A and B are shown apart, each in its own frame.
Chain A
């Protein structure tokens, strides 16, 4: 009985998808690719270099850019209904759920100079042994700090979490509107990721070897406590902060340190936005039991049902290649930060002039830790986000929050 009903349903869905897929003809012209891209400054960087690609290969690339908050949704909807994208710019956590609809690249990758990729960045495009995407724009959490203030007090940049807390305490002076560290304590995803970083550093894991939620452990608790302790030295209104507000706090000279994604560091050096441009130093995030900066790599993937797979592969290799990487780093917009995944580019001495944090970026990428590679990860991260938000808002105690995170993880994974 059940099987029959399920069969009818699947047929209905497929019928709609197929009927919907009928409209693809318009886009299936050879030598033309439709590219789902992130709107904004990354798009600007791409567009600046696109004419080079088109001239060299004769392939026309049509860019469909969507805002960050909606890109995943748009890609998911398009791919699952017989879509119209050939190539997609994908944040690494999206690769597992979308892998269903992506072209496996293992064979093609063999022909590439993979040694020139920072090793962890290549892993970002893989799932269950199959390579689905190439890295384009690696990002990782780093520590940004006010070199000038540290020199004044004769302090060295913090190496451990204890050092971090001590430094934050030393610089925290609310009366003068100076704060130790800028992090978020809102219901923004960054809050959860900061807490996770602290917990990872203590040795905790979000999910254990048997696929069950494991954050409610001694290490998880210690990490959570350190995170909450750190909040005491954050600006008072960190509870409303987003990624951009962390930058603001540094740019306006309010915070002495910040843990931030490397891509956020670029605006800190923009003179039209930042009063402290040139005064910042960069380092790896602090360590405790281990040092685990979080990795977040933007990748390029090819749709399984693309009619232009060879052209798509050419585009993918170009956008993850040296030439584009060099051009991207040199792109003269102060907020643009497409970091190249190529060792040759990152270690190039000229790069430091454009990316003052290039060394910290490269060093951190070497030891970067990835978030769990699961199809259901988006849901797990959502649960993490909401619960961390409730924790910092005072709706939950740390114990209750950790329990709720694990309960959610188990529920989502069907354990």
Chain B
């Protein structure tokens, strides 16, 4: 159903303030990464200026940035994979199999997410210490999957529940195993849900600070801890912080662009008809 010309025009007009509001701070951060601190506070504000690369140079030379980037990437990838696999299975399970206490168990899953992180940090620390997982990427991964899982499960319950059951049953009659049904039919139809769950899990892991700070030391340190370290006792190092933040944003953008095409309606219809 195509919107009217008027609708399209109004939409375009509405987009201007929306994008301005959303993108202005991003622009400001990016600009700050190419400015000196004095220029950042210049009045009138400098929208056009000649960029300097000093901030990036300082960040890349004084911090083992690449090592931390690797850590962040590996942990985030692992978190995404872990939450997707476990979340898909559990989400599908809840959607298709209801037992007497399923409502209560589902709520309990959500409750796992309600405690403030700081309360969980110390017992996690002790647990990881006992398991020898302190300052390892695995330790962080386990924690992050547990953060992302409740939302993934609940989200995917909704998306899987909306998959038409007759299609699945037809496939079962044709001899498909439940796992195959999940893989070939349910997942493609619920794809947008999986995309959201994946992006969410990636972001939870990528931006998380508190657990990374406490659970990691030298080996497994991730980027948010490094960035927080630029908030020194003498005040934030705006230039370096912005440069680091810009570099940290990029993998997220790449990932989202890659996943974008699954976020569309077409896939759903295609699966049903085909």
Pairing of A with B: yes
In this complex, what residue of A is CB-closest to B227?
A67
B234 touches which of A23, A62, A247 (Cβ 8 Å)? A247
Instruction: For the complex, give the distance between the alpha carbons of A43 and B234 in Å.
Output: 13
Within A23-45, which residues are at the interface with B (CB < 8 Å)? Answer: 23, 26, 34, 38-44
The chain A residues found within 8 Å of chain B, CB to CB, are 16, 19-20, 22-23, 26, 34, 38-44, 47, 62-70, 73-74, 77, 81, 84, 242-245, 247-248, 251-252, 263-264, 266-267, 271-275, 335, 337
Q: Is the interface of A mostly helix, strand, loop or mixed?
A: helix
Closest 4 CB pairs of A and B: A244-B235, A39-B229, A40-B232, A272-B36
Q: Are A251 and B125 in contact (CB under 8 A)?
A: no
Q: Are A67 and B228 in contact (CB under 8 A)?
A: yes
Given the complex, which residues of B lie within 8 Å of A81, measured CB to CB? 125-126, 129
Instruction: For the complex, give the distance between the alpha carbons of A42 and B237 in Å.
Output: 13
Given the complex, which residues of B lie within 8 Å of A264, measured CB to CB? 234
In this complex, what residue of A is CB-closest to B35?
A272
Q: Are B126 and A69 in contact (CB under 8 A)?
A: no
Q: Are B62 and A44 in contact (CB under 8 A)?
A: yes
Q: Are A77 and B214 in contact (CB under 8 A)?
A: yes
Q: Are A20 and B129 in contact (CB under 8 A)?
A: yes
Given the complex, which residues of A lie within 8 Å of B213, measured CB to CB? 66-67, 70, 74
Within B97-132, which residues are at the interface with A (CB < 8 Å)? Answer: 122, 125-126, 129-130, 132
Given the complex, which residues of B lie within 8 Å of A67, measured CB to CB? 213, 225, 228-229, 231-232
User: Does B134 belong to the interface (CB within 8 Å)?
Assistant: yes
10 contacts between A and B (CB under 8 A): A19-B130, A40-B230, A40-B237, A41-B237, A67-B213, A67-B229, A69-B228, A81-B125, A244-B234, A244-B235
Query: Within the complex, what minimum Cβ distance (angstroms) separates B138 from chain A?
Result: 14
- Among A42, A242, A244, find the residue whose CB has the most chain B CB atoms closer than 10 A: A244
Query: Within the complex, what minimum Cβ distance (angstroms) separates B40 from chain A?
Result: 9
Given the complex, which residues of B lie within 8 Å of A275, measured CB to CB? 38
Q: Are A40 and B233 in contact (CB under 8 A)?
A: yes
Q: Are B218 and A337 in contact (CB under 8 A)?
A: no
- Among B125, B218, B233, find the residue whose CB has the most chain A CB atoms closer than 10 A: B233
Query: Within the complex, what minimum Cβ distance (angstroms) separates B133 from chain A?
Result: 9
Q: Are A248 and B234 in contact (CB under 8 A)?
A: no
Query: Within the complex, what minimum Cβ distance (angstroms) separates A162 from chain B?
Result: 30
B236 touches which of A39, A244, A271 (Cβ 8 Å)? A244
Instruction: For the complex, give the distance between the alpha carbons of A38 and B230 in Å.
Output: 10
Given the complex, which residues of B lie within 8 Å of A272, measured CB to CB? 36-38, 54
Instruction: For the complex, give the distance between the alpha carbons of A62 and B218 in Å.
Output: 8
Q: Are A251 and B214 in contact (CB under 8 A)?
A: no
